[in-house]
Amino acid sequence: MRQEIRICGFGGQGVITGAVILGKAAAVYDGKIACQTQSYGPEARGGAASAMVVISDGPIGYPGVHAADVLVAMSQEAFTRYSREVNPDSIIIIDPDTVFNYDAPQTIYSVRSTKIAEDLGNVVIANIVMLGALTALSGVVSTDAILAATLASVPTRFTELNRSALESGIAAGLSLKI
């Protein structure tokens, strides 16, 4: 089983941090093999950002994403650029507050990660909300693994905030699951 995941948006949304946490969940806590790569523009914030995670039960010969099994798009530019580089049966997750024009033959799941994060008190955790939704909708990692990886990756003083963000994302994803 090889799963290719792309998380994309713009700099400052935690796209790369989210991918690192996802890779850690798979490799450290679920005992799978994972590889994470990233690309981003020269801007510190606001430029394009894309991070890829390949998760497998066996060796990974190529660390890149050919056609994503899961696409998380957190900006319009990211959706427009990467929505065509997915499998026919892929899972696409967007934030409808940041991705306005979306059309694809695949089912698109709308998770208001920015709004959920704002309601929890900090927009910075929108990426963690998306990780929860991604976990619930795709099952690429276990909920125990994503929780452990998230809590191991954030400063202690933000543990409860990130736990709430992850749980809110999981709940949002489960509510969309058919």
| Cα torsion through 162, 146, 50, 71, rounded to 10 | -110
The C-alpha atoms of residue 24 and residue 33 are separated, in whole angstroms, by 10
Q: What amino acid is encoded at 149 in this protein?
A: A
DSSP-based three-state secondary structure for 95: coil
What is the mean predicted confidence (pLDDT) over 119-135? 97
What is the strand order of the sheet 68-73 is part of? 33-40, 48-56, 2-10, 68-73, 86-94, 108-110
d(C-alpha 119, C-alpha 113), whole Å: 10
pLDDT in tens, 139-171: 999 999 999 999 999 999 999 999 999 999 999
pTM across the whole model: 0.93
Give the homologous superfamily in CATH for domain 2-176. Pyruvate-ferredoxin oxidoreductase, PFOR, domain III (3.40.920.10)
Domain ranges of the chain: 2-176
